[in-house]
Structure formats: C-alpha cells, structure tokens
Amino acid sequence: MYVAPPAPKGVIVIYPHTSNWDFIVGMLYKLGIGLPVRWMGKDTLFRWPLGPLFRRLGGIAVNRRAHTGFVETMLAEFAREDWMWLVIAPEGTRSRTDHWKSGFYRIAVAGRLPLGLAYLDWGTRTVGVDTYIELSGDADADFGRIRAYYEGKRGRRPAQASDIRLRA
C-alpha cells in the first residue's frame, strides 16, 4: 500500500528489518512507486563495486563505528533541499536488539518533520508506507503510537525483530 507523503520533507522508518532480502524488496518498492527517497546504510555497503550504484539509488553512507554528528549533518541537508524524504531502518541491523537507534527520532523532532511508517510484513507478504504522524517530542507517547502501528507486522525472521523503544 502507498500513501503519498503529506509534506515535501520528512523521515520514514521501515520495520521490521530482519533479512538481507528486506533491502532488495524495499528497493523494488521504492522504484515501483517512483518515490525518490534517500536512505541510510552502513558505510561498508558503499565500497567498490556497489558503492556508486547505491549512491545513485539515493544511499547515504553512515559510519556506525564513530559518532560523527550525523543528526546535525542530516538536518543541514534537509535545510538545503526543497524536497527530501529520508528512509531509516531504526534497528540499525538485521540482528535482534533490545531498542531502536534514536537518530531518526532526533532528526524528525528537531526538524519538525513528519514521520512516515513503512513496513515489510513477510507474514502477509505486503510492503507499504501508508501512515504519517507528527511527533510530539514525548518519546513515551510517540513510541506508544509507533508500537501500536507495527503490532502484528512480521519480519522474515520474526525472532530477530527488535523491541520498538529507545535505549533506557
């Protein structure tokens, strides 16, 4: 399912991310609906020979081993662009974690950007982005809404789906 973004700028989270196939399915979905989103991936994906292709497909390399001011860099990029939607897998990995990374949330709140909720539901074999929410800055309340949306959505490897919450 697809609902067009409500504004020219925003952040989209995609959950659950439990398999390498998620990237391929997500990229086919992006190309199929014609949504020119940017997306983040670990910097090691952007090495030769696939790096140039991934950048052309909207990829932004992220060094996950160091704190580099990525949130501030992305906010500056949003300020420069007339139209920009950034897709982030907030789990930050295909492996199970007990929390989501906070970058997407900090970018959306600081930039006053809407948050799109996208899914790859292997249980129903559906993909979509159909809901956009405004974040309040109250993480507990916002994450309650996010958790409710993703209730019942199943990753390719369900046991690897991360808890929908920020680190304590």
Is 125 within the bounds of a domain?
yes
- CA atoms of 154 and 119, how far apart (whole Å): 9
Residue 66 has pLDDT above 80, yes or no: no
- Which pLDDT score, from 0 to 100, does residue 30 have? 93
Which H or E run includes 142?
helix 139-150
Q: How many domains does the chain have?
A: 1
Residue 35 has pLDDT above 80, yes or no: yes
Is 3 within the bounds of a domain?
no
Is 25 within the bounds of a domain?
yes
Is 165 within the bounds of a domain?
no
Q: The domain containing residue 43 runs over which residues?
A: 9-160
Is 149 within the bounds of a domain?
yes
Q: What is the pLDDT of residues 106-149, one digit of tens each?
A: 999 999 999 999 999 999 999 999 999 999 999 999 999 999 99
